[in-house]
């Protein structure tokens, strides 16, 4: 399988890299320190045709595939993982869920709101007692005539504090476990819906991560995505794409940490010569860049598989491998970068400490490493 990019994708990478360096990078430390969602950057990415590029062309988007989305996400993540998370969550929760399961009427209603009304969406799956174990979610959706009454709490929802609609997964038939989960679009002004506490996370700050609370929230039947009981199938398909985008974010932050620490080491004089002249430091950089390039290969291979719909039975395994390996590499590389800078790396005068905190988050979200290993092993045993 070729991992080459076409001319349009190469131009996109150069364009996003330039705008990320000029407009996003200078704001990264401020976003982290203030933990405030950067609405102005969301508007900027929207104006540049980046934020909503996954929206189908007939609605005003670019209809971009996963490979193209990965290119944009990687370059944004090099500047700010928080901003890249905004892009990823809008893409998955606001757009790809609708593309995968929405009716034509639902698409005609929501996609124009995303493009013309500048609305944000997000994915609402995780609960206090149900993270990776989706089948154990407690949020209930009970039919009441032409409506569903939804009760429960979601947590750790990125963009939860700024989104206008939510791709919600809730149990409609508790006895059926996986096949008892259904998907809904819940609008922010829904009676019975409220936003809970703002999470004070270690990294990836400024993503408006909150709780979502549903107390007899009344959602019309027309807002259900797909038939009842199809929610688990929908969320699994979405997770495959989300994990690839999260993996490419990991590559972006790892590459950024590598570049910063490498440039620092070339200028840092120790024992009368630059750090890069010490063989031990050279070996560290050799390992770091090898891991980054290896991770990049598996991520883009998986993205190509999704776009081409080739070997669909292997996509969950490759998505899990991409997420597991890339986030592990990001954690290792950012930690090495902090150590290479020594005491300076442990201060907020340099961005590598923020990158290390950010990297830990993506190692956990959308299923931590042990969950990814479990998916990989089960896929191998099944085949």
Catalytic residues, which ones? 366
How does 145-181 read in b/e, with b if 16+ C-beta sit within 10 Å?
eebbbbbbebbbbbbbbbbbbbbbbbbbeeeeeebbb
Q: How does DSSP classify residue 127?
A: B
Q: Does residue 122 contact residue 167 with C-beta atoms inside 8 Å?
A: yes
Q: Does residue 121 contact residue 94 with C-beta atoms inside 8 Å?
A: yes
Number of helices (H) and strands (E) in the chain: give both, helices first.
Answer: 12, 10
Q: How far apart are CA 20 and CA 165, in angstroms?
A: 27
Distance of CA 126 to the CA centre of its chain: 14
Q: Minimal CA–CA distance to 154: which of 198, 208, 210?
A: 210
- The residues, ordered by sequence, that sit 6+ positions from 103 with a Cβ below 8 Å of its Cβ are none
Would you call 220 helix, strand, or coil by DSSP?
A: strand
Q: Does residue 185 contact residue 111 with C-beta atoms inside 8 Å?
A: no
Q: Minimal CA–CA distance to 305: which of 372, 313, 53?
A: 313
Q: How far apart are CA 45 and CA 270, in angstroms?
A: 42
How does 187-213 read in b/e, with b if 16+ C-beta sit within 10 Å?
beebeebebeeebebebbbbbbbbbbb
């Amino acid at each position: 399988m070729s991992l080459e990019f076409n001319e349009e994708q190469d131009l996109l990478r150069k364009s996003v890299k330039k705008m990320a360096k000029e407009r996003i990078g200078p704001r990264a430390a401020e976003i982290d320190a203030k933990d405030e969602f950067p609405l102005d950057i969301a508007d900027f990415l929207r104006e540049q045709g980046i934020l909503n590029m996954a929206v189908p062309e007939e609605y005003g988007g670019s209809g971009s595939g996963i490979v193209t989305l990965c290119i944009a996400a990687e370059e944004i993540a090099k500047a700010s993982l928080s901003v890249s998370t905004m892009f990823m969550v809008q893409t998955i929760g606001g757009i790809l869920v609708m593309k995968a399961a929405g009716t034509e009427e639902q698409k005609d209603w929501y996609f124009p709101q995303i493009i013309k009304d500048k609305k944000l969406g997000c994915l609402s799956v995780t609960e206090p007692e149900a993270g990776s174990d989706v089948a154990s979610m407690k949020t209930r959706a009970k039919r009441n005539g032409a409506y569903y009454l939804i009760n429960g709490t979601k947590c750790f929802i990125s963009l939860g504090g700024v989104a206008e609609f939510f791709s919600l997964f809730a149990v409609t038939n508790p006895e059926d476990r996986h096949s008892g989960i259904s998907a809904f679009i819940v609008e922010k002004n829904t009676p019975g819906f409220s936003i809970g506490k703002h999470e004070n996370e270690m990294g990836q700050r400024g993503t408006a991560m909150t709780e979502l609370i549903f107390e007899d929230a009344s959602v019309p039947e027309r807002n259900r995505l797909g038939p009842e009981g199809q929610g688990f199938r929908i969320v699994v398909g979405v997770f495959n794409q989300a994990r690839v985008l999260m993996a490419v974010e990991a590559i972006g932050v790892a590459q950024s940490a590598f570049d910063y620490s490498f440039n620092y080491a070339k200028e840092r004089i120790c024992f009368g010569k630059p750090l890069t002249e010490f063989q031990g430091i050279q070996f560290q950089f050799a390992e770091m860049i090898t891991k980054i390039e290896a991770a990049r290969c598996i991520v883009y291979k998986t993205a190509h598989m999704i776009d081409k719909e080739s070997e669909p039975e292997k996509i969950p395994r490759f998505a899990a491998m991409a997420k597991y390996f890339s986030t592990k590499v990001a954690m290792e590389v950012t930690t090495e970068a902090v150590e290479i800078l020594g005491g300076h790396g442990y201060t907020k005068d340099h961005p590598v400490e923020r990158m290390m905190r950010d990297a830990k988050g993506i190692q956990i979200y959308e299923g931590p490493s042990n969950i990814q290993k479990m998916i990989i092993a089960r896929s191998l045993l099944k085949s």
